[in-house]
Amino acid sequence: MHPKYRPDIDGLRAVAVGSVLAYHAFPSLLPGGFIGVDIFFVISGFLITTILLQSLAAGDFSYRDFYARRIRRIFPALVLVLLATLAFGWYVLLPGEFSQLGKQTTGGAAFFANLVFLGESGYFDATAETKPLLHLWSLGIEEQFYIFWPLLLGLAWRKRWPILRVTLAVAVISFLVNVITVQPHRAAAFYSPLSRAWELMAGGLLAAMRLQATADGSANSRPLTKHVQSIVGVALIVLGLFMTRSTKAFPGWWALLPVLGAVSCIAAGPNGVLNRYLLSNRVMVWIGLISYPLYLWHWPLLSYARIVEGGEPSLQVRVVLVVAASCWPGALTGSSSASSSCTFRRRCCAVWRRAVRRSRWLACWCFSACRRPATPARHCRPWRMPRRKTTTTMASRRTRWAVSSSIAPARESTTCC
């Protein structure tokens, strides 16, 4: 059972993905754009909890059907991005970098990318910009939520535990873990599902409250309240976008701005003043409908551009890449209607079915990339010469490629091309 479609939630998705794209492509323009991921978490928690509770109440909930729908929605576009990222990485990455990419691809496909990156470096470190699959950490947290939350919610339903109290307890415990660990262990607080679950639970708590109010007949339908919630929600999100910085202890207390803002916008409903006239705008809804593939494609493009350029690409290149990431899923959907996301998923499913038949090659590729030893220089392509040192700056990467290209003719007898 699915909740009634709300275009304003797709508009809120557009705000989330737009802020993330702006932060990744133009960080000085929107320094707090990374909080868009927190908005995604709230939306996912609200929608998934609504689906689960409605299905449990109707008596037609099935774990098999639930997880099958999640796989059909997530895997087609994800597998396509993983294959494209691996294929391009084979030609432009150094052996050690490609080995790391293999581990990250395995983590992305198995939904523990956040734990992979937790063992490597922080999200805001300089080296993070050259990791083409870094953005999959958030998908890992969402999928871990999809795995454990239905089990806990189903258990609470069968045992007749109060759903609101269970949800609130999980949210409070997770928020305390977040606040306690954000200062001494910033990377762990950022990537860990234990310190991020409260953001998804905030949406889940709202879903439980709304469904209980509807069942009791005590739902608040006063227009003024909805308008105030809509304005306050958008204001909190805007405040978070411009006040939050990567240098601050995040998530911590700062994550309350996007989380409470998203909760307030969703609680306002489709008739809230800004929900109706801003978030339900045709353009916003269209961006929201392609937000998932747009999020998947934008970071590998920007990351590889930084690797190839040896530093920050020019403004023109970044603009072209953002437009390309937007047009690729948009071209597949072909319209801005509510059914366009379904159209995209159906077309991706065709790619997914072909990819499944070749999944053994993807598994072998990931495994070999993880175990691939450093290749001697004489067996490498000129642009994939191994490092002389373990730590190399982006500027020296460009110099190394230029030098290796200039000496390539002299090594024709010892180089495999």
Name the least confident of 34-48, 85-99, 212-226, 251-265.
212-226
Per-residue pLDDT for 216 more than 90? no
Q: How confident is the model at residue 25 (pLDDT cuts 50, 70, 90)?
A: very high
pLDDT of residue 329: 60
Per-residue pLDDT for 168 more than 90? yes
pLDDT tens digits along 363-400: 444 444 444 444 443 334 444 444 333 344 444 444 44
Residue position matching structure tokens 């959907």 = 333
Domain limits of the chain?
7-371, 378-411
CA–CA separation, 2 vs 99, rounded Å?
41
Residue 78 half-sphere exposure, CB side, CA atoms within 13 Å? Answer: 23
Secondary element (H or E) of residue 303: helix 291-309
Give, as one character, the DSSP assignment of residue 33.
G
pLDDT, greater one: 393 or 323: 323
pLDDT of residue 400: 43
pLDDT of residue 52: 94
Residue position matching structure tokens 């699959």 = 133
Q: What are phi and psi of 159, to 5 degrees?
A: -85, 0
pLDDT tens digits along 232-243: 999 999 999 999
pLDDT tens digits along 115-165: 988 877 667 665 778 899 999 999 999 999 999 999 999 999 999 999 999
> Measuring CA to CA, which residue among 193, 218, 262 is closest to residue 19?
262
* Torsion 201-156-140-43 (CA) sign: negative
> Measuring CA to CA, which residue among 255, 220, 280 is closest to residue 12?
280
Q: Is 406 exposed, middle or buried (0-12, 13-18, 19+ CB in 10 A)?
A: exposed
